[in-house]
Structure 1
């Protein structure tokens, strides 16, 4: 749903000026929507459950509007994050995590300082809607996802982002592109809706188990991430968590998969967390940007600045070659 934060007026104005129909590219007749529907000048109508427009072109998407409205679980299930669940409380609050992106808060704070008051688009906000709004306090932050499980501002499929060209000063997709059928199409859309000089942030897992079944399609090397954004100047590609974190996660998964019985799998999860959590601290001893760290990273992050320049494959590969210190 639309945020109740102080910048509500700014967000409403932004959506009124920049939203487009994902089918024909026309603008809304009026925003906010009236009567539970958002009507576009081309005549298409989209439902707005809880005030969140569901802007999906069903001809080109895995997701269907009726399923979104009915809250059918797809890429995420709200029950998995249910804070009233004892099992979730133990898993999320008591058992130690197997990995930790220790530089995440600094990266986000740096982005917030650079974008200042420019509009920010969050793709795949998940259950972090309020977290993102707090992270960019001076910006109109638009949160999106492919469902309405956690109260995003609107629903869209990022193969067709329903905003005009050059709308945002930052487009952020954290742990999203692996869940996209055609990530090269989605990344081109991300560049399209970012204003010249604006920033793109894309973080993805690399050495990490299959998850969010069956909506997990891809893994990206540092090279693969760079090639997704050829019209952006490279600021950096870094490992978010290194090979020790990846090892801990896979060892834990191995323990869990030794049995098909739910109770035993739960006990194996707990045992794995308690036994393996110290492994992640070995990542501190791997040289930053070393070949080993990037080759076996649990996750990677790309940050770039959109400049519209055409880059050849050779230019892109040379950039990636220069990332690694041997």
Structure 2
């Protein structure tokens, strides 16, 4: 796994509250503080350190609490999902994400220069189908999440990304926007940290049951997902997985409810893996209306889509009555 060294990305880090520069904590704790004297995070201790990773969170405006930093820095808090299954069943329950792999290939080929910087928002675990970004030695990968992980260099809240404006060439946000309180604010932050013409790749659920418990908030139709990224030019968009996969989600959670156990639901999903093949039989316009999840690959711009444009954007099978 190729990650940028913390010393390399340190000049890009800023205070999540006021976006001023950071400096070493005067108390000698090894943590960081805001360099602006009038900022609430100037006084020591400001930003704690979690096992060698700075925790750059505006605690007053986040679900992350200062007193919980030690617990949140534990890998046990990373959502595992299908990883709890035995290896043979795991691949049936969670097959390779070919849509992500294809789109990540497009993104990597479009990145400029010899050493582009790619930010992974919510990157505590390496996402399905995006492994290529961690193998590309040309790309400087920066990852953060609200938990500590070998795949991240710091802990942060995506609502207030502690990076300078216009400092990264691309952003990956896969299966994250459903888990934040304000997706529009997170996308605005992504827009802020991207350079002009920078790229974003997002995957977000449409028709999926609740996962990650209390940290699951939102779903998006294809039109809603596009409007979320309304300050981006669309390069590609569509279903990550279609109606067959969506049916698998429903069967999985029906069995969970009947048996009161998640493992039984996941095992049923693995046994009925062939339903996923029905995705390929559904025309794209019908799949758009019944997708399990959706992707968006876009390029940063300043112009915003108008309400008229988003209404005209609809590509589904339903026709006005």
Which residue of 2 is the match for residue 25 of structure 1? 19
In 2 relative to 1, CA 99–253 (structure 1 residues): closer, same or farther, beyond 3 Å? farther
Question: Per-residue deviation at 1:99?
Answer: 5.8
8 A contact 2:31–2:54 mirrored in 1: yes
Give the distance between the partners of 2:186 and 2:232, measured in 1 at CA.
14
CA–CA distance in structure 1, aligned partners of residues 51 and 143 of structure 2: 14
Equivalent residue number for residue 126 of structure 1: 124
Q: Does 1:255 align with 2:233?
A: no
Secondary structure of 1:111 counterpart:
helix
Structure 1 residue 136, shift from structure 2 partner: 3.9
Q: Say if 1:159 and 1:71 are closer, same or farther in 2 by CA, change over 3 A.
A: closer
Q: Is the counterpart of residue 111 in structure 1 residue 112 in structure 2?
A: no
Matches within 5 A, 1:315-326: 315-318=309-312, 320-321=313-314, 323-324=315-316
- The alpha carbon displacement at 1:80 in A equals 3.9
Q: Which TM-score applies when normalising by structure 2?
A: 0.85
How far 1:66 sits from its partner (Å)?
A: 2.7
Stretches of structure 1 that go unaligned for 5 or more consecutive residues are: none
Match of residue 305, structure 1, among 299, 304, 307: 299
Alpha carbons of 1:223 and 1:195: their partners in 2 closer, same or farther (altered >3 Å)? same
Tell me how far 1:12 sits from its aligned partner.
Answer: 2.5
| Residue number in structure 1 paired with 2:279 | 283
Q: 1:270 aligns with which of 267, 288, 295?
A: 267
Count of equivalent residues: 305
> In the aligned structure 1, how far is the partner of 2:227 from the partner of 2:195?
20
CA distance in 2, matches of 1:226, 1:217: 18
CA change 1:200–1:12 in 2 (3 A) is same
Runs (4+) off by over 6 Å: none
1:51-200 aligned within 5 A: 51-71=52-72, 77-78=77-78, 80=80, 88-90=84-86, 92-95=87-90, 96-97=92-93, 101-116=97-112, 117-128=115-126, 131=131, 134-200=134-200
Q: CA deviation at 1:273?
A: 2.1
C-alpha spacing 1:155/1:244, structure 2 compared with 1 (3 Å): same
Distance 1:303 1:213 in 2: 28
Q: d(CA) in 2 for partners of 1:77 and 1:6?
A: 21
Taking the aligned partners of 2:304 and 2:251, their CA distance within structure 1 comes to 42
Alignment TM-score, normalising by the size of structure 1: 0.84
Q: Gapped runs of 5+ residues in structure 2?
A: 37-41
Partners of 2:104 and 2:146 lie apart in 1 by 23
